[in-house]
Structure 1
Amino acid sequence: MTLGDATPIPQGTRAPIDRIGATVLKELVETIVSGRVQPGENLPPEGTLSQEFGVSRTVIRESVKRLQEKGMVTVAQGRGTHVNPMSAWNLLDPLVITALIGHDDDLGILDDLSVVRGALEAAMASAVAAEHSDDGVERLRESLEWMRVSIDDSTAFREADVRFHLIVMELSGNLLAENVARVLFERALESTRYQGVDPERAFELTMVEHENVVAAIAGGDREAARRAMEEHILGSWERRRLPTAKRGKD
């Protein structure tokens, strides 16, 4: 675990120190999420970690404190630092959820993420339908048009797709749901596993599903908007989802 950049740092230069601590923290999160240290087991002692990473005990102590803030460990005087069960972890923490997705071999985390994201965005779409404005509907239609004109450019199409969802979140006025959905969405988009493989005519299907959402919102139909958004998010994930040993070919 020795860090290559653990060299003497000139006084007054804080950024490299922060980078070292961030690297140690990331490695410790990976160690726990990967199962190399199981819930109920103890992390190695502070001195051992200090030697393995090639950093000071202060850096280790601060990193463990950050782990504790994320709910991943409990420090007990005289009993060491033991790993908490996953139910205690802050799963919305960017480092934690990124590591979970990275080790999600059977895609169970991404399955759960899609269900939660679908429920949240469905609720937000329903709220937009209930309080929709001409300006809000126009913004969604403009986003649809961006998707339509970029349908042959996968990168541009996906950017327009993301923009559409962010507009729905914003228009909902539900800041808590928007915050949670954004974290899930942004972390998932970083994963090639979440991107999966687009089936034939995937973008055309996506366009139709987005059009259904906009039509329901413009018509003020809360239930139709909720259903259209949830069906889109879950259906799109199922289309892209890679085969796994757990589920076999989809």
Structure 2
Amino acid sequence: MMAAPDAFALPPRRRAERLSVAVVSELVELIVTGQLAENQLLPPEGPLSDYFGVSRTVIRESVKLLEEKGLVIVTQGRGTQVARSGSWNMLDPLVLSALIDNDESLGILDELTTVRASLESAMAGAMAARRTDEELTRVEHALQFMRDSQHESDAFRQADVVFHLTVMELSRNHLAENIAKRLYLRALESSRFHGLGYENAFQSTLDEHALVVDAIARQDVAAAEQAMSHHIVSSWQRRRFEPPRD
């Protein structure tokens, strides 16, 4: 008779690590919103420990995580200083989420659109340059899926996402795909990114996607790049609402 296997032993729970995640999340938001301004020194460990109600060990772990995200600079003898925003790792999920969630001016979404347009236009051009017949069929099917879904908002939106992800994948530019996908999928979680409805939204979106597919089919690199960039920028401009003024 075979002996019963040993039961799986759960590792010790790391309470300090879980606490540091919560502390980091709050500090990231304070930095991103400017409540802790660039070049400002964070309070010492003692006051931070009292403020968050955690040990100094948790504070040290939290500061280390902030440093890894590029949000702070730790200098011996000087303390912990908030880094310039240009040094932040804005692709870090926590940082990116905080930036988008607190983007009342829509400035971050404007910048995201510019970066996304640049990356996705390059990927559309790359696909046009070396697409196979099978790859062209895939992107044509993605466009047809959009056409078939145009009378149902949620399905159309999902079909739109599938189209863009398909072009990213078929570009074979894995670095651009990784960056653009991370920006795009996180932006989709924001109601500000979806913005306002506008007249003939389905048709204009379909027409712009069709221009991308046509250029890819003709293997016209410049046209594919221009069509994709124009679609991403103009679509955002049409649905972008004007933030309230103080």
Structure 2 unmatched runs, 5+: 1-9
TM superposition shift of 1:32 = 0.5
TM superposition shift of 1:16 = 5.8
- 1:106 alignment partner in structure 2: 105
Q: Which moved more, 1:114-123 or 1:104-113?
A: 104-113
- 1:22 alignment partner in structure 2: 21
TM superposition shift of 1:35 = 0.8
Following the alignment from structure 2 to structure 1, what is the Cα–Cα distance between the partners of residues 70 and 217?
Answer: 43
Structure 1 or 2, whichever has the larger Rg, is 2
TM superposition shift of 1:21 = 2.3
TM superposition shift of 1:202 = 0.8
Following the alignment from structure 1 to structure 2, what is the Cα–Cα distance between the partners of residues 171 and 191?
Answer: 26
- 2:142 alignment partner in structure 1: 143
Q: Deviations over 1:95-117 (max 9, x none)?
A: 11211112222111111110110
SS at match of 1:75: strand
**Aligned AA for 1:168?**
V
TM superposition shift of 1:182 = 1.0
- 1:67 alignment partner in structure 2: 66
Following the alignment from structure 1 to structure 2, what is the Cα–Cα distance between the partners of residues 154 and 83?
Answer: 43
Q: Which moved more, 1:146-155 or 1:130-139?
A: 146-155
Following the alignment from structure 2 to structure 1, what is the Cα–Cα distance between the partners of residues 16 and 238?
Answer: 44
TM superposition shift of 1:17 = 5.0
Pairing 1:34-73 to 2, within 5 Å after superposition: 34-73=33-72
- 1:211 alignment partner in structure 2: 210
Q: Which moved more, 1:103-112 or 1:228-237?
A: 103-112
- TM, length-normalised to structure 2: 0.91
Following the alignment from structure 1 to structure 2, what is the Cα–Cα distance between the partners of residues 228 and 165?
Answer: 13
Following the alignment from structure 1 to structure 2, what is the Cα–Cα distance between the partners of residues 112 and 217?
Answer: 26
- TM, length-normalised to structure 1: 0.89
Following the alignment from structure 1 to structure 2, what is the Cα–Cα distance between the partners of residues 64 and 145?
Answer: 50
- 2:170 alignment partner in structure 1: 171
Following the alignment from structure 1 to structure 2, what is the Cα–Cα distance between the partners of residues 198 and 94?
Answer: 28
TM superposition shift of 1:18 = 4.2
Q: Which moved more, 1:71-80 or 1:123-132?
A: 71-80
Following the alignment from structure 2 to structure 1, what is the Cα–Cα distance between the partners of residues 204 and 13?
Answer: 50
- 1:78 alignment partner in structure 2: 77
- 2:4 alignment partner in structure 1: none
TM superposition shift of 1:217 = 0.1
Following the alignment from structure 1 to structure 2, what is the Cα–Cα distance between the partners of residues 244 and 122?
Answer: 28
TM superposition shift of 1:139 = 0.8
**Aligned AA for 2:82?**
V
Q: Sequence identity of aligned pairs in percent?
A: 54
TM superposition shift of 1:43 = 1.1
TM superposition shift of 1:14 = 2.6
| Count of residue correspondences | 236
Which aligned segments of 4 or more residues in structure 1 are displaced greater than 2 angstroms? Answer: 11-21
Structure 1 unmatched runs, 5+: 1-10
**Aligned AA for 1:210?**
H
SS at match of 2:38: coil
Following the alignment from structure 1 to structure 2, what is the Cα–Cα distance between the partners of residues 121 and 55?
Answer: 44
SS at match of 2:36: coil
- 1:3 alignment partner in structure 2: none
Following the alignment from structure 2 to structure 1, what is the Cα–Cα distance between the partners of residues 160 and 22?
Answer: 33
Following the alignment from structure 1 to structure 2, what is the Cα–Cα distance between the partners of residues 225 and 24?
Answer: 45
Q: Deviations over 1:202-224 (max 9, x none)?
A: 12111111111001101111111
- 2:237 alignment partner in structure 1: 238
Q: Which moved more, 1:129-138 or 1:41-50?
A: 41-50
Kindly indicate whether the alpha-carbon contact (under 8 Å) linking 2:17 and 2:58 is maintained by their aligned counterparts in 1: no
TM superposition shift of 1:78 = 2.2
1:192 counterpart = 2:207: no
Following the alignment from structure 2 to structure 1, what is the Cα–Cα distance between the partners of residues 185 and 146?
Answer: 19
